Structure 1
């Protein structure tokens, strides 16, 4: 069973996304922002198969987390998806350059969301 780290500063959104993933056979872990996620990942106790992060968050945003993950030799193998309502093409370009695997626009259709998650995990 694959484990996904869900990163979002809104607990209610984290919970909805986590429950959706769990209903489709995934295990989930949660982090409240990029810094929280990075601390958990670097702590070594957390084993995840994919990072699913919001873009706009306090402390460390999704792009900052993406750059930190892809810049760390121990973490860079983790596939990374941004799940966001952000539509700025410049931000999308910067994320792609930083090593982003996929960008999922909110709101999303469950089938395509789960399909993208599965595809991204299985292509590694």
Structure 2
């Protein structure tokens, strides 16, 4: 069975690119544009999601807010969350790790390393 990755990214070009690459690697990708949309998807199909791949800086509901809401809900708590972001503030990185973030991947990323990480983390 294909693993499902919930992609949360406000820029359409990046969102489409990441989803296309995931699909080519054999994953099923669900596209959302912000944390609120991601939470709606998770409320309907948390059991289907293997991993959440989110940007950090987004309007309406940031990656950090999304992470906190995922980890506060027993139904979504076990789902690994990975930030794929240009953000590099060490304080934000530490805060996210303390909140339950599985990994922080800086854009641009190396595809091989990135997919090895996803395979390792997805449930």
TM-score (norm 1): 0.94
2:49 aligns to what SS in structure 1?
A: coil
Q: Which residue of 2 aligns with 1:72?
A: 73
Q: Which runs of 5+ in 1 are unaligned?
A: none
Q: How does 1:1-124 map to 2 (within 5 A)?
A: 1-44=2-45, 47-121=48-122, 124=123
1:6 aligns to what SS in structure 2?
A: strand
Residue deviations 1:9-68, cap 9 Å, x none? 011111000011111111100111011101111134772100000000000000000000
Aligned 8 A contact 1:40 1:46 in 2? no
Q: Which runs of 5+ in 2 are unaligned?
A: none
Aligned 8 A contact 2:46 2:76 in 1? no
Aligned 8 A contact 1:7 1:31 in 2? yes
Name the CA shift for 1:115/1:45 in 2 (closer, same or farther; >3 Å).
closer
Partners of 1:51 and 1:100 lie apart in 2 by: 10
TM-score (norm 2): 0.95
How many residue pairs match? The answer is 122
**Displacement over 3 Å in runs of 4+:** none
